[in-house]
Structure 1
Amino acid sequence: MTIVTPQPIAFIPPGEHAPIKATLFEWRDPATLTPRQWLYGRHLIRRFVSVTVAPGGVGKSSLTICEAVAMASGRSLLSDWVSGPLRVWVLNLEDPRDELERRVTATMLHHRVQPEALDGRLFVDSGRERGLCTATQARDGVTINAPEVAAVIAEIEARHIDVLIVDPFVSSHMVNENDNGAIDLVAKEWGRIAERCGCAIELVHHTRKLGGEEASSESSRGAVALLGAARSARVLNRMGEAQKADAGVSSDPNTYFSIDRDKANLAPPGKRVWRRMVSVDLPNGDSVGVTEAWEWPDDFDGISVADLLAVQIGIRDAWEAGKPPRASNQAKADWAGAVVASVLGLDAVKEKARITRMLKTWVGAGALREVQHEDAKRNKRPCLEVGEWANE
């Protein structure tokens, strides 16, 4: 893909005003319109603000560091599309520099990214050394810190930054995060910076306390105005115990989390993807968490047409033996899933959810069909019988 260098945008500094004028729309040949400049997947785009929302401890900082290394090296480390290599600035306002160095180094080692692959395109700074305050709030209202904003713009332009990651957003200002009007001003100021500099800006934000519920982007802490100013928002959720059991990773010491892009004004919402945090041992003795891509196991991985045929034969034999296989996985005995487990060598208890989904798929495809059958007490029970026989 050809990367178009953005032209400077007419910019009005904070505090200055210009006359409001109505601009007449003029039709242009659609082929001549400038295409949207996506930089990372369908989440980061030039001249726009994007938001990542997550509960504490899920792995959002490790995720964004891995994505920064991916963009700077031009490599798809997490199976996401990368328009690169890009110049990326990670502005972490919580962690000290040495911790950031450990995380970046561990990420590069784990994903086999050589130092020369970055070629001076990755910039990392800590808020412990130099904080950031784009706005303050007093009784008379919110004030945008114009010198601070100008300093950010100057550095982005001087370094030709394509992507700026601010982690966390709450540490980049000093306004009431529950005040929609105040957060709206701050968030839109970031949008003006993205517009002025022709870069993409990622704001990393925490969720409110959820009480065990799964988060959405609207679960972000404080005012919702931040999401209103973003053109893409995604949410991270730690894998629950039930999901671990379904995925067969309940005994895996690694941690797993999902990513849902549930606000996407400029692209269709994306499907849920999964990531895994793995521990990487550094030569200095430290162990550091690093994000890697992870695919949810396919229920039919390793299952062939011959296996389906064997299941159908098992279902037929059960009927002939006078034990019609019950459709419900709540059946105390004679569940059709027990036939599947026996034929395919699966664990009917530990893999109950998987087997249930397999049966549902086969019923939907017509390989099995549900029928009503009278039990010994003349009560009708839903059972499964062979539908259209599998053909190898």
Structure 2
Amino acid sequence: MNEARALQILDASANRQIFPQPVAITQAEWETARSTPDCIVQDLLYADVAVFIAPGGKGKTTLKLFEAIHIALGLPLYGLTIHKPGAVLIVTAEDSREMLVARMRSIAQAMKLSSSDIHKVMQKVVIVDVSGNSFKLTEVRGDVVKPSDGIDQIIEACQAIKPVLLIIDPAVSFGVGESRVNDAEQGLVEAARRLRRALNCCVQYIHHSGKQNARDKAVDQYAGRGGSAFSDGARMVHVLQSLTPDEWRDETGTELEKNETGLRLARPKMSYCAPVGDILILRSGYHFQHVERRTTSKQAKAEGAANQLEQFLIFELSQGRYHSKNTIESQIINLKRGERRAAIDLLIASQRIESRDVPNIGKNGRRTYLHPIASPSVTANRTENTPETEDSFAGEKVVFASPPLIENSSAAKRPPPIEPSFSCGSPNNDGEATANPANRSIDYIEVEL
């Protein structure tokens, strides 16, 4: 057999696909199988394929160094627990090893790490520079994109390191180009899966945003450049975007100083945990700080409307007036129609109001009303001269006392006082019940307006 023929047989053997023999599930598999891989960082990184997306120049590599230090030392990251601290391997085809070491040194100084912690970081965060040597994770064989021999080289090199996180920066430098976008991305996903299987670590690609996505500040899982195979194949997708001073103020309630940058780290795809919110990061030079998000103005407004409506219902109930959703919408209260409906839904969802039967409704039969939990079922005395108003409960007429007459025309557009001066046995702001004044019967309540 000549040498050319031998090479053909060897090449065919290397490309031969092997399908495992199907076998039944064993008892041991049934009892020990896990639904999630090892968790490295709570709600952030698991031992599987991940993609980290950001526009150019946003400091994504520097942020990865910051994260690597925390994982190596086991320090909480963005307020999240490190469940599996250990070594981090960074394979770079863009920035040189020297530049990354210098950045990491500056981050360690900003973190005020001790000399022993710095020594540990120097041992645990390993940087391999492959820029300019054509090292690839995929190649084209038989017009198909497949993992390259570089995978085996990484696996062999990692036997002594045993990393919990492998960062590949940037993804585009390790594939076959973008002429066949989704095939190229799927090839990188398959390469990462081989690495994950052999090393039981998280394999995270650093990927650039698409141009328009960067301009639009998109933070969904398809914010990366190229096709969709990358994000579809990954089990974790993180997106980094910068925030303007106004956006930062809205999110945190604080101002950005001259040399500070606000960053949003979104987690649009997390396959192994419940949906999680964005992480806000304040950067000043090489110092990174996790900042808690304040309650958004929209949330605060909705809660304020719910509080106002709850107080309205408590007051009305003390006057012997029972309201349904329909009657609330017809009342003089300083809330728009949509706000009233949203407030009702919020109060019901938070179990602050509930549906109860209207007492003493008469011959029309018992119907329901919205009862505020913070108030007991009380009815103010009515007189024969009390004006009455009709409302409909499922087609039936219900009679209740009208609100107090307001003579001032401008005041007539406002609701009854939110905090009227009366005692009805309902809880106060401290959650303590107010005593029934003068031991009066609960059927009679004196109201001071």
Structures share fold, TM-score greater than 0.5? yes
Kept in 2, the 8 Å contact 1:276–1:293? The answer is yes
SS at structure 1 position matched to 2:237: strand
Aligned ranges for residues 6-45 of structure 1 at < 5 Å? 15-26=15-26, 32-34=32-34, 36-45=37-46
CA RMSD of aligned residues (A): 3.3
Equivalent pairs counted in the alignment come to 314
Which residue of structure 2 lines up, in the alignment, with residue 295 of structure 1?
A: 292
- Which amino acid letter does the alignment assign opposite residue 52 of structure 2? T
Distance 2:280 2:333 in 1: 39
Q: 1:290 to 1:97 in 2, by over 3 A?
A: farther
User: By how many angstroms is 1:225 displaced?
Assistant: 0.7
1:11-90 alignment runs, 5 A limit:
15-26=15-26, 32-34=32-34, 36-46=37-47, 48-90=48-90
In 2, are the aligned partners of 1:170 and 1:177 still within 8 Å (CA)?
Answer: no
What is the CA deviation profile of residues 278-310 of structure 1, one whole-angstrom value per residue up to 9, with x for unaligned ones?
A: 11xxxxxxxxx34322222x35xxxxxxxxxxx
Counterpart in the other structure of 1:219? 223
Which aligned pairs between 1:79-228 and structure 2 lie closer than 5 A? 79-113=79-113, 114-118=117-121, 120-128=123-131, 130=133, 132-137=135-140, 141-144=143-146, 146-176=148-178, 179-209=181-211, 210=213, 211-228=215-232
**Partner SS, residue 133 of structure 1:** coil
Specify the SS of the correspondent of 1:188: helix
Task: Rate the CA distance shift 1:249–1:166 in 2: closer, same or farther, 3 A.
Answer: same
Q: Which whole-Å CA distance do the structure 1 matches of 2:270 and 2:143 have between them?
A: 31
Distance 1:163 1:357, change over 3 A: closer
Stretches of structure 1 lacking an aligned partner (at least 5 in a row): 1-12, 280-288, 300-352
For 1:361 and 1:57, how far apart are their aligned partners in 2? 39
- Aligned pair in 2 of structure 1 residues 382, 32: CA closer, same or farther (>3 Å)? farther
Note the C-alpha offset of 1:191: 0.8
Which deviates more from structure 2 when the two are superposed, residues 61-70 or residues 144-153?
Answer: 144-153
Structure 1 residue matching 2:106: 3-state secondary structure: helix
Secondary structure in structure 2 of the residue aligned to 1:219: coil
Letter in 2 for 1:86: G
The alpha-carbon deviation at position 275 of structure 1 amounts to: 1.0
2:275 to 269, 275, 281: 269
Secondary structure of 2:267 counterpart: strand
2 CA distance for matches of 1:376 and 1:205? 65
Verify the 8 A CA contact 2:241 2:263 in the aligned structure 1: yes
Deviation at 1:98, TM superposition (A): 2.5
Matches within 5 A, 1:236-385: 236-246=240-250, 247-253=252-258, 254-279=260-285, 289-296=286-293, 298=294, 354=297, 358-366=300-308, 371-372=332-333, 385=417
CA distance in 2 between counterparts of 1:92 and 1:375 reads 77
Query: How many angstroms apart in 1 are the aligned matches of 2:122 and 2:58?
Result: 30
Partner secondary structure for residue 271 of structure 1 = coil
Conservation of the 8 A alpha-carbon contact between 1:49 and 1:191:
yes
Name the residue aligned to 1:341.
none
Q: Which has the higher contact order (CA 8 A, sep 6+)?
A: 1
State the secondary structure of the residue aligned to 2:158. helix
Aligned counterparts of 2:300 and 2:266: Cα–Cα separation in 1: 25
Cα distance, 1:365–1:273 mapped onto 2, change above 3 Å:
farther
Question: Percent of aligned pairs with the same residue?
Answer: 17
- How far did residue 148 of structure 1 move? 1.7
CA deviations 1:77-132 (Å, max 9, x no partner) are: 43222124301111222112232112111111122333134372210123436553
1:257 match: secondary structure: strand
Match of 1:390 in 2: 429
Q: Is the 8 A contact 1:77 1:292 kept in 2?
A: no
CA distance change for structure 1 residues 29 and 274 in 2, over 3 Å: closer, same or farther? same
Helix, strand or coil at the partner of 1:109:
helix
**Aligned-partner residue type, residue 21 of structure 1:** Q
Give the SS at the match of 1:120: helix
SS in 1 for 2:123: coil
Aligned to 1:233: 237
Alpha-carbon deviation of 1:156? 1.6
1:43 is matched by which residue type in structure 2? L
Distance, in Å, in 1 between the alignment partners of 2:333 and 2:145 is 71
- Mapped to 2, the partners of 1:261 and 1:361 lie a distance apart of 26
How far is the alpha carbon of 1:359 from its aligned partner?
4.8
Aligned AA (1:292): Q
**CA–CA distance in 2 between the matches of 1:384 and 1:26?**
70
Shift of 1:31: 5.8
Task: Tell me whether 198-207 or 250-259 shows the greater mean CA deviation.
Answer: 250-259
- SS of residue paired to 2:81: coil
Q: CA deviation at 1:42?
A: 2.6
- CA displacement at 1:170 relative to structure 2: 1.0
TM-score of the aligned structures, taking structure 1 as reference length? 0.69
* 1:157 aligned counterpart, secondary structure: coil
Give the secondary structure class of the aligned counterpart of 2:160: helix
Shift of 1:30: 6.5
Distance 1:376 1:57 in 2: 61
Counterpart AA for 1:252: E
Distance 1:20 1:84 in 2: 31
